[in-house]
Amino acid sequence: MHGKAKVNTTLEEKEKKKKERDLKMKAYRLSMNKIFHKRKNGEYDEEAMELISDVLVSNPDIYTLWNIRKEILLTFKDKSHDDLACILSNEMHLTEICLRENPKSYAAWYHRLWLLDNMPYPDLEKELFLCTKYLKLDERNFHCWDYRRAVVARLQVAPSEELDYTTVKIEENFSNYSSWHYRSKLLPSVFPDPSGLRPVDEPSHLKELELVQAACFTDPSDSSSWFYLRWLLGRPTTNLGAVQAFLTNGKIVCVFSRCVCLPQPWIPYEKSRIIWTRPLHDEESEDEISFTIEYGQGLVENITIDRGKVWSVRPAFDPTVSPALMSVLCSTLDSSNQLLDLEPESKWTLLTSIVLMQAIDKKLYKSKILERLDLLIKYDQCRKNYYNDIRSKFIMEEALEELDMASEEVILSRLSLTSLHHTHYLAFASVIDLSNNNLKRSLQLLSVLINCKELILDANALETLEGFPALPSLKKLSLCGNNLASSETIIPFLKNNRMLQELNLEGNKLSPSQVESIKKELGLCEK
């Protein structure tokens, strides 16, 4: 309180304070005991309510007490309408007091929402007004944002009104995950994109980009706006369609660009829903098969497979961008580059510029993209793995787009890959060379290599084979020059891959006895 002399805490004062605290503590214990006692005896009455509210007012986070309160309130259902209305309105008031004590009390917010749903006539308008008032005091209280969304849903406020509200809040302070996030939820319903390629329709998309760029430039170190920008640019999903089809082991294999659902007799391979197989019908010949495949609403593909060949579509990871959007992307890139001139170490700017360059023309910008990824790794060491994976994805996409899909042998070596992406495009390949990369993890993604007979993983950084999938065709695996130091994960792998005939483990850190036991296990495979 202003204008009051500050009291020095003497020993005496401290003693007094301690006494007060002890007293409070005692009172608290006493109340809690009483409450639980009453509950045990089923004494759900006004006195219990009062005891509970007294404790809650200063300790709004005690879940148990709120729950007991709910139990008691539910027993009040038979009271007269007026009484009940009065009790519930008092109850609302109690949560309000508790929220004043702690505006971020999960329990109090939750109780309030529960009340709304259990009141005969909740005053939702008032609740909305209250949210607005609270958010004025602290626009970053996400509890209040959550509650607001719940109220808005019950009140059926037009999303456009809420959108306007987020605009106001963002203009007040854009360093606010909650309002950007809310915006990203509202926009698609207010301005849906007919093409389905963007999160929102084109004019709104352009406007949003402008808005969020202003925030990014005003404070490039504020991550909330960058997250929103990334959401806006977000790689629009690739076009859906079949990308590969071939025969193997008397089955038709069909690979899609994304997950799909196919009718019987198609069955998903390895639960992935990207690769589907079905046995050949009796009347179908392996020389030339034509079939029609229907995936989803009105999407149909007519496929013909020649003997021993693969039907394939060249992968395209970036869908076509409309000229208007392209010009926005380009101007965003321009300004990002200007921003980088001013703030060369701004990681969000670097990252966003990379995303933009990928969307605009990744071939043209290849060296720049890689260069900036190196910078990111340098400036932001703690997210090194993340950036490495972005790089791997970028490189792999490029390599896959270049790939001859009809070839049985795929070479993806010396690409500094730290992770694997889009491996389903390799489903047809029988020889896959991934040597001389930096693979340590993401072996699970190999599970789609349905046709792979020979897999070369020499000179990577593998320390374990944990998660290495079972590959139905795998005969030869080379793991030379990795960091495998234990047979522990290798033996289970061998048990899973009984087709394997050849396993090369040279240049690892395995002891002779481990090598011996592995050989033994491998011996079992051959038979």
Instruction: Rule CB under 8 A: say whether 1 interacts with other proteins.
Output: yes
Residue 36 or 386: which CB sits closer to other proteins? Answer: 36
Grouping H, G, I as helix, E, B as strand and the rest as coil, residue 504 is: strand
Of 37-66, which residues contact other proteins (CB under 8 A)? Answer: 46, 49-50, 53-55, 57-59, 61-62
For residue 365, the minimal CB distance to other proteins (Å) is: 21
CB 263 within 8 A of CB 274: no
For residue 157, the minimal CB distance to other proteins (Å) is: 24
Residue bearing tokens 């640019």: 233
Nearest Cα residue to 135 out of 121, 151, 117, 159: 151
Instruction: Rule CB under 8 A: say whether 498 interacts with other proteins.
Output: no
Residue bearing tokens 């079939």: 291
Residue 68 or 305: which CB sits closer to other proteins? Answer: 68
Among 2, 40, 271, 527, binds other proteins (CB under 8 A): 2
- From CA 438, how far away is CA 391, in angstroms rounded? 12
Instruction: Rule CB under 8 A: say whether 385 interacts with other proteins.
Output: no
Residue 167 or 483: which CB sits closer to other proteins? Answer: 167
Of 319-348, which residues contact other proteins (CB under 8 A)? Answer: 335, 338-339, 342-343
CB 471 within 8 A of CB 484: no
- Phi and psi dihedrals of 288, rounded to 5? -150, 125
Instruction: Rule CB under 8 A: say whether 218 interacts with other proteins.
Output: yes
- Binding segment for other proteins (CB under 8 A), chosen from 23-31, 238-246, 283-291, 383-391, is 23-31
Nearest Cα residue to 435 out of 410, 405, 460: 460
User: What residue type is assigned to position 222 of the chain?
Assistant: D
Report which secondary-structure segment, H or E, holds 518: helix 512-526
Strands (E), 335-466: 409-411, 431-433, 454-456
DSSP 238-276: PPP-EEEEEEETTEEEEEESS-----TT-EEGGG-SSEE
Instruction: Rule CB under 8 A: say whether 90 interacts with other proteins.
Output: yes
Instruction: Rule CB under 8 A: say whether 29 interacts with other proteins.
Output: yes
Which distant-in-sequence residues (6+ apart) come within 8 Å of 200 by Cβ?
187, 188, 190, 191, 192, 193, 208
For residue 174, the minimal CB distance to other proteins (Å) is: 6
For residue 420, the minimal CB distance to other proteins (Å) is: 37
Q: Bridge-partner residues for 246, per DSSP?
A: 253
In this structure, what token pair is assigned to residue 96? 């309000």
Residue 230 or 476: which CB sits closer to other proteins? Answer: 230
Residue bearing tokens 């209040």: 144
End-to-end CA gap in the chain: 86
Among 199, 220, 236, 481, binds other proteins (CB under 8 A): 220
In this structure, what token pair is assigned to residue 335? 């300004």
- From CA 48, how far away is CA 62, in angstroms rounded? 15
Among 158, 214, 267, 406, binds other proteins (CB under 8 A): 214
- From CA 417, how far away is CA 161, in angstroms rounded? 47
Instruction: Rule CB under 8 A: say whether 248 interacts with other proteins.
Output: no
For residue 22, the minimal CB distance to other proteins (Å) is: 9
Among 106, 114, 177, 217, binds other proteins (CB under 8 A): 217
Q: How many residues bind other proteins (CB under 8 A)?
A: 52
CB 94 within 8 A of CB 57: yes
Instruction: Rule CB under 8 A: say whether 91 interacts with other proteins.
Output: yes
Cα–Cα distances (Å) from 518 to 106, 491, 524, in that order, read 54, 6, 10
Of 107-166, which residues contact other proteins (CB under 8 A)? Answer: 139-140
Instruction: Rule CB under 8 A: say whether 213 interacts with other proteins.
Output: yes
For residue 464, the minimal CB distance to other proteins (Å) is: 45
Residue 346 or 464: which CB sits closer to other proteins? Answer: 346
Among 9, 67, 75, 89, binds other proteins (CB under 8 A): 89
For residue 28, the minimal CB distance to other proteins (Å) is: 3
CB half-sphere exposure, 238, CA atoms < 13 A = 14
Instruction: Rule CB under 8 A: say whether 81 interacts with other proteins.
Output: no
Site string for other proteins, 155-184 (x = CB under 8 A): ----------------xxxxx---------
User: What residue type is assigned to position 166 of the chain?
Assistant: T
Site string for other proteins, 285-314 (x = CB under 8 A): ------------------------------
CB 112 within 8 A of CB 92: yes
Residue 10 or 513: which CB sits closer to other proteins? Answer: 10
Contacts with other proteins, residue ranges (CB under 8 A): 1-5, 21, 23-25, 27-29, 31, 46, 49-50, 53-55, 57-59, 61-62, 86, 89-91, 93-94, 97, 100, 139-140, 171-175, 213-220, 335, 338-339, 342-343
